[in-house]
Amino acid sequence: MKIPKPVYELLPVLYVAGGIAAISTVDSFMSFISGILLGISGVVVMVIRRNYRTEQRDFQLKVSQAFNTPNP
């Protein structure tokens, strides 16, 4: 099953928002822990995606430079 791109891109933000909501709305230790874990997981997903996209962009740049260099 493929998730539509707008939903896929929004998921980490929803994780963080859900974590904040769980921390701030319910006065339970378990909801606090769940909110912390949900917020951390959202941040981790954002960082992993950013790192992967940066690596892919850098790789594409290196490949394009390698094939577009003029011959001496």
What is the rounded average pLDDT of the residues 2-6?
Answer: 92
**Which class for 22: exposed (0-12), middle (13-18), buried (19 or more C-beta within 10 A)?**
buried
pTM over 0.85: no
Domains of the chain by residue range: 5-66
From CA 35, how far away is CA 16, in angstroms rounded? 8
Predicted pLDDT of residue 70: 57
Residue-wise pLDDT tens digits, 46-64: 999 999 999 998 888 888 8
- In the chain, % of residues over pLDDT 90: 67
